[in-house]
Chain A
Amino acid sequence: MNADPYSASRRYFLGQCTGVSLGSMALSTLLCRAASEPPVETKQGLPSLPHFAPKAKRVIFLTQSGGPSQIELFDHKPGLEKFAGTELPDSVRQGQRLTTMTANQKQLIKPAATRFEKCGRSGATVSEWLPHLKSVVDDICFIKSMYTDQINHAPAMTQFLTGNQIPGRPSLGAWASYGLGSENQNLPDYLVLLSKMQRPSDQPLYDHYWGSGFLPSRYQGVKLRNAKDPVLYLRDPDGLPRHLRRGMLDGISDLNEMHLSTMGDPEIATRIRQYEMAYRMQSSVPELTDLSDEKEEVFELYGPDSRRPGSYAANCILARRLIERGVRFVQLFHPDWDHHSRLTSWCTARCRDTDQPSAALITDLKRRGLLDDTLVIWGGEFGRGVAGQGKWDSPEAGRDHHPRCFTMWLAGGGAKAGYTHGETDDFSYNVTKDGVHVHDLHATILHLMGIDHERFTFRHQGLDFRLTGVDASKVVRQLLG
């Protein structure tokens, strides 16, 4: 952690070491300065990283916020029908806490509202609601035995992304950005894309989900907005041409350099560099978000919604473009998987939003040769319970939150393709084999990125913090390809 990439500027040392005041020395050159851009510097991560050769150089995290139903989507339980409408046995429930939404109702079993099929050579079970995903199951590693400690959205999502349910810890992406740096000098290392929805979402996406916690704030995720300014304040005002903005920055830089030579504070040199980075981002970000150079067949691959800027599908295309530009960590958020009611209209809506684009992203990365070293992660903060919420046999019934088991999937980046990990009981209620705690998943993701989670720490308030916390957590070897 001594490796602060921002050391004092060359000119500063030049001025100081030769004992010549920069102001007088440079004035003649300043006045006829050409509008040239200063050289680009490399932004590196920690010198000690990676600990070993990484399989995944980059990550795309397709975060499904709200808790997708593993029962409807992946965790097929053919035996459930015969328990339909009966009370969930205490031997299965084992005192599991419920939210107040269902705490006072009987826990009556509601079988999956959908049919399943065994797909691909690997024979993974996938719901009829995800027809496109079926075509890429052999590239996917399913984890059916995920579990978490939290039962409400915000704490669960906070733990899912930062390792702790209390806001204030760095997000997985911030850790990656801090540890590994970026291969792109014109874009932040960690970018966040939120689906644009038409209705108010029930679970706000708090910015601490991609926050840097106690890490320096430049490692926090930068949210790309679907607006005129993809990054806040990115766009120069109308009527300000590029060459005058360049001139202003030259002026700022020259005046700051003069000041640096009297004050000797390296922070001024950093500021000069950050203004230059801001200038570069003003071209690199719009170039990135403008999809007009994508071929027609790309939109066909990702589905009709990909033509709509801000949609999950369009964001999947953006994610691929970011990966192509060497961005370390891209995180998508798709809200409203919180299906307390009406699975057939509400859950299916989210499936339609995401199924084709998620599958297309795998196909697209693969054909471009990027899937081998890009890890794609799909999943939400928890799963859903087997009991129906509302009248169990009504089409209006839904499911409450469930932390004890849920399904996620990984693809590419060294994850074992065509493999399904872990098992749950007959009620998709408890993990029966190979449970994977959220911390284990984090340890495994870091491992794929070449990082030993136990050795990757940050000292804060006198303690060495790590993403995976103090309790024992492990890399799940079976998930490695």
Chain B
Amino acid sequence: MFRPLVVVLGMVCIARPVWSEEAVRFSRDILPILSENCLSCHGQDESHRKGELRLDVREAAVKKSAILPGNPEESEIIKRIVSSDTEEVMPPPKSHKAKLSEAQVETLKRWIREGAVWGKHWAFEPPLKAFSEGHPIDYFVQKNLQVLSILPSPEAPKHTLLRRLSLDLTGLPPTPKELESFLKDASSSAWETVVQRLLRSKHYGERMAMWWLDAARYSDTDGFQSDATRSNWPWRDWVVDAFNRNMPYDRFTLEQFAGDLLPNATEDQKLATCFHRNHMTNGEGGRDPEESRVDYVIDRVNTVGTTWLGLTLGCTQCHSHKFDPISHSDYYSLTAFFNSIDEDGKAGTAAKPYLSYKSPLAEPTLSESQALVEERKPKETSARKAAEAPFEAWLAQRRLETSQGWQSWIVLRATSLQTAEGTQLTQEPDGAVQSSGPNPNQDEYRFNAKFSAKRITGLRLEVLPNETHTHGALSRGATGDFILTDLKLQVRSIGNSQVRDILLTDAVADAMSDKKTNGGYGDVKDTLDDDPRNGWTTKGFNNTHAHIAVYALAEPLTCGDDDELVIELRQRSTLGDSNIGRFRLSVTAEAGDAIHGTDKTPREELAEINKIQGPDSKLRARLFGEFLADHSPYQESKIALDRANRQLTESRLATGTLNVMVLAERKEPRRTYVLQRGVWDKHGQEVHPDVPAAIAPWLEEEERTRIGLARWITSTRNPLTARVAVNHLWQMLFGIGLVRTTEDFGLQGERPSHPELLDWLAVDLMEHGWDIKHTLALITTSATYRQNSAASPSLMKRDPDNRLLARGSRFRLPSWMLRDAALQASGLLNTAVGGPPVRPYQPEGVWEELFMGRFKYEPSEGSAQYRRTLYAFWRRSIAPTFLFDSAQRRSCEVRNGRTNTPLQALTLLNDSTFMEAARELARQMINLPEPERFPHLYRNTLSRTPTQEEHSVLQRELDKALAYYDSHKDEAKKLLQFGQKIPEPGTDICSLAAHTLIASMTLNLDEGMTHE
């Protein structure tokens, strides 16, 4: 939920009393006061400066006597702040800023008395470990709470704690068994034991990877217009593995920045550099590849800024930073590190440099896919076999039917004929439609017909010559040739004002010109795409003969007697003057070869030879093909097998050698320039690889390469990196970072709620060799972390966002975790680690809509469906639909929104994954004795058992559902017909349906979707 920022600012500005035992620190104690109250009029921005006074630079303030070091009483700044004269007092009343508190004034005075020692913005000062005793986290948090006279909350119930910890460290809720063993463990080390167990889990790396992939803008496609698929997923597995091995964060950084440059670089070290190739790539026509290349370099620098340094470097792309001490040329000096990659700005399969890589983790997917094919193949074979008997009966009938001759195609009679531009059309007795009268440059013919057959599988268009046409050919246009740009088939039911588009999937013709030499016109398939820049013509072929096109419907059309067919022949070619002169339309009800060729249909052939003998083996095969195309028991197993085969093909590709985008230097380094106003080809002064000195000076022993850059970033002299890293971890566990603006530690970011704690953790991380697991263990073993998240109304009012940490944090889990939790709770989860991406359920047609059919989404089948969300295929232009509030993976994101919308409710109620999980839970429930059912459901989904009151509500709704389904068995069946685990025969489906609803209800409870 969105909370107003104003509240936040107010919160953070709660006066920090200066601890008497410590000296005043400029960055912590003074700059916030100046920045909040003074600098908007007395800062670096000249255009808003009042009284020519600057308070952001010591010399200026001293020169103007605003600050007299050692003499607070005489300093103008103090006099004005404490003045009671409304004309004199600062900040002035009309600025609507509150009067400074006594504590703030005291702090200022003390600072001036102590010499007004100046300093930098807090984040640019090196972090220091302040004094602490006991658990450092609890020490700093409680020190603050004591001052505010707020008591910390008691420890949360054990089941809540385990659930919180399991979700935080592995992204999965505890299993009932894990829950039981933790509840039983009364030893004093029970908590430490479980923390260590979870940090050792292979799911730990997956959970951490989800964080890192958002920052890395990882995706399985390029993005932009063509959005081509890439195969960078081995890098994702590298990340999981790095976290699981607890690779130190400095090493983790180094390998991703410069794995390729390390001495004797291993494959995996090269693979690591894919981090800096996860940006979008743009293959848009008309775009200069050099412009794209520059974009990628800039994207890398911005990502480094956001992820490691917590700085909005993007601002300095066009001009020097308005707030932070980063100049325009600092920025481009940073780009120089990434400017000589051996890349040329291309996308798709031309996005070099690549690493040829074979993933050891692809193999299990292959065997899974293979098993699925093995399972389905015999089913298809036996279905084919089983079809032979009914085929014989069918064939006998066909032979009888065709014994007196056969016509597969039935000519359509028009009920009305219309044209858009004025051509006159008349239908003649043989069904041919003749044009006459005006001969416009372009036209559309609209042929309306009563539906004369019960079923239609195909449509045939004959284009006919006539002596009234030019040269007695096919058109009245200048050359006598025709161009059909598009053909549309629609159905309109009587009394219905709307029409239905009928999908045509195939078109064949007896003659087609070469489209390359005919201005794009030739191929009859191009009449299916509603694009007038291409279409069908037979130009170059004999144009005094009839030509035929046959269209196949995607599925047989069956309608009532009153339905009307509308067939549109669009002739909208660029040159025009080639409208069809005469044509005839027919339909057929036959499947198979009849609608995929222009020759005689199998049945017509049968009719011819029928009298003499039975069909020969070739014709039998054609007829069997027709029979199978219509035989639904066979089609079911065929479609299932085809899908398994497609999945297998994909898996095979994944086990082969993959091209993973990585970093590699080109031989000739490029020169790097400042880009004026950030425009890619507006070169300013030349720059060389360097870092912003205001953050930390370059490490002189290092070469100016990506290796050096990585070492500078993780150097203990860099004041930002460790702070930013621990803040990320804190955000992961508490929902909000100690610095709320995870992406911005600069002057415009928020100051930390607990600066000493942040610094302590940052220093501690570096002292422990950048050991991430160490920091996580430290935080999760604090009493602060283990507090109950319930809030009294007064505490909620005082601290709605829990910045004071007087209670446990309560926030909605990320949507990916909700999906994983549902899979885990229901036992569906496939716990395999790594491998090629999978496709979880999502509603039909979402890719097709965006790309108008260019990409088709087929959910994975078999156990691949139940992999963790980390492995879900990520199409950059349309993220998985079941993920709400997730990062977009277009650019680096380190802080996700958290909203609460009706669309989320709909997703969790109706998404197939959640419904399938509910059905699985229901299946388990109905196999248990009644009293154990609700407890089982609650233990799996909420890690506890229901109270008596909750039990009553569950029972109330279950009774309603049972009452309904017991008398509506068909509805129960319908409810359960989805996904893969369709109930087996013999299941009590009424009970299963009713329990499915109760399980779905439980998966939709606030408690279940919340970190609490």
Contacts and interface: CB of A to CB of B under 8 A. Distances in A.
Interface of A: 1-2, 4, 6, 16, 23-24, 27, 30-31, 99-101, 103, 152-154, 167-168, 194, 196-208, 216-218, 222, 225-229, 231-241, 243-244, 247-248, 250-252, 254-256, 258-260, 262-268, 270-272, 274-275, 277-278, 281-282, 291-292, 294, 296, 299, 307-309, 314, 341-342, 344-346, 348-349, 395-396, 400-401, 459-463
B285 A101 contact: yes
A271 B1006 contact: yes
A291 B497 contact: yes
Contact of B849 (A31, A194, A228, A250): A194
Given A30-B952, A238-B977, A263-B810, A278 B961 contact: no
Contacts of B501: 308
A240 B575 contact: no
Contacts of B800: 266
Interface stretch (B618-626, B717-725, B903-911): B903-911
Contacts of B906: 231-234, 278, 281-282
Contacts of B285: 101
A205 B877 CA distance: 9
Given A4-B4, A264-B793, A231 B903 contact: yes
B851 A291 contact: no
30 contacts: A2-B7, A4-B2, A30-B953, A100-B288, A199-B852, A204-B851, A207-B878, A216-B2, A217-B897, A218-B2, A233-B910, A237-B910, A238-B975, A239-B970, A239-B971, A255-B953, A255-B1001, A256-B1006, A258-B950, A263-B1012, A264-B790, A265-B791, A271-B1006, A277-B905, A291-B497, A292-B496, A309-B498, A345-B572, A345-B574, A461-B312
A101 B307 CA distance: 37
Given A99-B287, A256-B1006, A292-B497, A349 B877 contact: no
Interface string B887-909: 01011000001011111111101
A200 B854 contact: yes
Contacts of B531: 198-199, 346, 349
Nearest to B570: A349
B572 A254 contact: no
Contact of B793 (A1, A16, A255, A309): A16
Most chain B Cβ neighbours within 10 Å, of A1, A234, A244: A244
Contacts of B993: 239
A323 B238 CA distance: 52
Contact of A227 (B812, B849, B897, B953): B849
Contact of B499 (A194, A281, A308): A308
B851 A200 contact: yes
A362 to B, nearest CB: 21
Contact of B284 (A4, A153, A197, A226): A153
A346 B748 contact: no
A448 B518 CA distance: 51
A396 to B, nearest CB: 6
Contact of A278 (B286, B485, B902): B902
Given A4-B2, A345-B573, 17 more contacts: A153-B225, A194-B849, A232-B881, A241-B971, A248-B909, A251-B956, A251-B1001, A255-B1005, A264-B790, A268-B1006, A274-B905, A275-B902, A296-B497, A308-B498, A349-B532, A395-B575, A401-B286
Given A267-B1, A291-B498, A218 B901 contact: yes
B299 to A, nearest CB: 11
Contact of A233 (B519, B891, B909, B952): B909
B529 A259 contact: no
A203 B225 contact: yes
A244 B964 contact: yes
Interface stretch (B116-124, B385-393, B840-848): B840-848
A254 B968 CA distance: 27
A252 B903 contact: no
Contact of A307 (B498, B905, B953, B978): B498
B285 to A, nearest CB: 6
B284 A152 contact: yes
A23 B532 CA distance: 67
Interface string B485-514: 100001010001111010000000000000
Contact of B287 (A152, A259, A260, A462): A152
Contacts of A23: 947, 949
Given A194-B849, A200-B853, A248-B957, A346 B910 contact: no
B903 to A, nearest CB: 7
Contacts of A31: 952-953, 956
Contacts of A342: 532-533, 574
Contacts of A260: 1006
Contacts of A267: 1, 810, 812, 900, 1006
Contact of A270 (B576, B900, B975): B900
B852 A200 contact: yes
Contacts of A196: 849
B498 A167 contact: no
Nearest to A272: B1006
B899 A247 contact: no
A249 B915 CA distance: 15
B897 A216 contact: yes
B885 A217 contact: yes
B850 A274 contact: no
Most chain A Cβ neighbours within 10 Å, of B749, B911, B1005: B1005
Q: A-B pairs with the 8 shortest C-beta distances?
A: A239-B975, A239-B974, A462-B748, A198-B530, A216-B2, A99-B286, A278-B905, A278-B902
B259 to A, nearest CB: 30
A165 B885 CA distance: 22
Contacts of A234: 906, 910
B1007 interface: yes
B997 A244 contact: yes
Contact of A6 (B1, B225, B810, B843): B1
B789 A263 contact: yes
A22 to B, nearest CB: 10
Nearest to B285: A101
A346 B4 contact: no
Contact of B744 (A262, A272, A461): A461
Most chain B Cβ neighbours within 10 Å, of A103, A237, A299, A348: A237
Contact of A396 (B574, B897, B909, B947): B574
Given A238-B977, A239-B973, A344-B576, A244 B1 contact: no
B897 A252 contact: no
A271 B1012 CA distance: 15
Interface in B272-291: 284-288
Contact of B529 (A198, A202, A248, A396): A198
Interface in B901-942: 901-907, 909-911, 915
A423 B975 CA distance: 62
A202 B498 contact: no
A239 B974 CA distance: 5
A461 B1004 contact: no
B957 A250 contact: yes
Given A232-B906, A236-B910, A461-B749, A101 B574 contact: no
Contact of A345 (B528, B533, B901, B1001): B533
A243 to B, nearest CB: 8
A198 B505 CA distance: 12
Contacts of B1004: 248, 252, 275
Contact of B903 (A222, A400, A401, A462): A222
A256 B1002 CA distance: 10
B311 to A, nearest CB: 12
A218 B533 contact: no
A435 B161 CA distance: 63
A244 B961 contact: yes
Contacts of B949: 23-24, 27, 30, 258
Contacts of A237: 910, 915, 974-975, 978
A30 B572 CA distance: 66
B5 interface: yes
A30 B950 CA distance: 10
